[in-house]
Each structure stands twice: as C-alpha cells, then as structure tokens.
Amino acid sequence: MSGDTKFDVWYLFALAGAVLIGAVLPVLPTGAAVSAGAVLASHSNPIGLVGVLIAGAAGAYVGDLIVYAGCRFGGERLAKRVGWLRDNASLDALRVRLKEHEIGVLLTSRLIPGGRVPVLLAAGLAGYPWERFALVDLTASSLWAAVYMAIGLLGYALFDEPWQGVLAAIVLVILTTVVSGLIQRARRKSHPE
C-alpha cells in the first residue's frame, strides 16, 4: 500500500456513521476508526484531520444523545432486561458520584472504556437535565475524538506507510483499553464499594 490512499468527504460520512452506530450499539471499535481516519488523513490530506475530528465527535455526540434518550425514557426496564441493574449498589454509587462531580464524571466516562453506558444509564435514571447533558457531552465527545485522533497521529508519526500507521493506531487503542480495564479492576479490588 502506498501513501496515495484516497481520503475524501465520503470517508468522513462513513466515519461519522460508524461512530454513531458504535455509540448506540457498542460493538464497533469506534476509537480505532477515528485513529485510523487520522492516519489516512495525515498521509493523503492533512487538512482532513479537521474533518476526522468533526466526524468522530459528531458521530459520538449523536450516538450519546440517542443512548441517553433511551436510558432516560426506558432505562430501568431496559437495564433490568439486560442485567445492568443486578447490583443496585453500583448504580447508586454512580448516581452519587454523578451528583457530586457531574461534569468530571460525564467527561471522563466517554474516555474510559466501558464507562459511558453505565454513566448514561445513571444520568438517565436520575433525570439529569437534557440541556446540561447535551452541553457537557458535546465537550466530552470532542475530547474523545481528539484523544483517539492523537493516537492515530502517533501511529502516523511512527511509520511511513498508511497501513502500518493504521495497524499501530489500532494496537495502541487496544493496549489503552486493556490497560484501562486492568487499572479499573485493580481499583475495584483495592476499594470495594
């Protein structure tokens, strides 16, 4: 693969759509998609990085609004159906943290793998105001896209070929996710709620 990879506006629409779908149905590696987009944009059209940031943030933002609406209007029934409310103590602790540090919790929940959906559920069940959520999540989605774009830029900086940079970005995203999960697990063991 050479450095003349085609990067255009259709890629940005596809990226926004993939991130949106991944935000609603968290099965797609949306962070890796943003990182890969940053690598491809850097190799073929560096101004496209702005588009990658906007597409990634917009897809994440709209997806979060959809998930929040679902949690707000049908969250408890949905949570019980899929087993998220087996342990009400965890949800109650999350509600308390959300009430005490709402902006910090909402901002960081987007960055912590697996942290977004429980926070959205707690916020929805607690009746967190739409306007505040929409404003804080706009910032959180933009920050999230910027972080994953930076991971992609690191992959771009390390390798000459786009495929190598994309592969490096995906590996960095996976390592970040694994390390974050290990840290969370260690914290839960040392500080049980």
Backbone angles phi, psi at 150, to 5 degrees: -65, -40
Residue 152 amino acid letter: G
Query: Mean pLDDT in the chain?
Result: 78
Please give the Cα distance from 6 to 28 (Å, whole number).
Answer: 23
What predicted TM-score, i.e. pTM, was given to this entire model? 0.76
Q: Tell me, what's the pLDDT at 2?
A: 41
Confidence of residue 105 (pLDDT cuts 50, 70, 90): confident
Q: Tell me, what's the pLDDT at 184?
A: 61
Q: Tell me, what's the pLDDT at 53?
A: 93
Residues 88-99 have a mean pLDDT of: 69
Which residue from 121, 106, 24 is spatially nearest to 72, judged by alpha carbons?
121
Inter-residue contact 145 to 12 (CB < 8 Å): no
Q: Residues 5-15: pLDDT tens digits?
A: 456 788 889 99
- Integer CA distances (angstroms), 142 to 12, 59, 71, 88, 148, in order: 15, 10, 22, 31, 10
Q: Residues 34-73: pLDDT tens digits?
A: 888 888 888 777 778 899 999 999 999 999 999 898 888 8
* Res. 1: pLDDT tops 60: no
